[in-house]
Structure 1
């Protein structure tokens, strides 16, 4: 699954266009590498997102095309 779509489906970022812009700005990294929106995400990857002064680090646990709001948290765990 593409990185920008995973960020939207997991609700780490609310909209796919915003996820795309964050990737283009270099604020998202996968496994320590700055990542473009088109990077393929797989189970076990570590994603870091910089929101201003705060950094969120998560591990991908599952990949689904769609999720309900209460199940979105099952796709990743905070590190």
Structure 2
């Protein structure tokens, strides 16, 4: 089975064209080698997929005939991603938790309250100095 079709079948990518694009961009490796989307995969192959700034590692157990349900994915692949990589994902979530780019539109209600509190603190400091 083609590697792009396999990654789509085990639900690592939403569409097959996205899986093909990832292979062409060099984000997918099989047994450590950069590959084309048409590369055939076999059981015991080790696939490394770079997705969302994390290198996921998969061990191919079997090849499905068609796209499988989420509950059946474990029959066809084994996730051998190191725990350190998954912990990096948690850190990325926390770092992006409260970050807005400049010019991202109107401030949210929380942003507005924070701005008001900041101005009130500055005014209190100026009055106490006088």
TM range (shorter): over 0.9
Unpaired stretches in structure 2, ≥5 consecutive residues? 81-130
**Could you list the runs of 4 or more consecutive aligned residues of structure 1 that deviate by over 6 angstroms after TM superposition?**
none
**C-alpha distance in 2 between matches for 1:73 and 1:13:** 16
Match of 1:17 in 2: 17
**C-alpha distance in 1 between matches for 2:69 and 2:51:** 24
Q: Which has the higher strand share?
A: 1
Q: Which has the higher helix share?
A: 2
Match of 1:59 in 2: 59
CA-based RMSD of the aligned residues comes to 1.0
Q: TM-score, normalised by structure 1?
A: 0.93
Structure showing greater Rg: 2
Match of 1:77 in 2: 78
Match of 1:47 in 2: 47
Q: TM-score, normalised by structure 2?
A: 0.58
Alignment partner of 1:22: what SS? Answer: helix
**C-alpha distance in 2 between matches for 1:24 and 1:35:** 8
Between 1 and 2, higher relative CO (CA 8 Å, sep ≥ 6) is seen in: 1
Q: CA deviation at 1:68?
A: 2.6
Match of 1:29 in 2: 29
Q: Which moves more between the two structures, 1-10 or 61-70?
A: 61-70
Q: CA deviation at 1:73?
A: 2.7
Q: Deviations over 1:12-68 (max 9, x none)?
A: 112100000000101100000011100001000000001142110010011111223
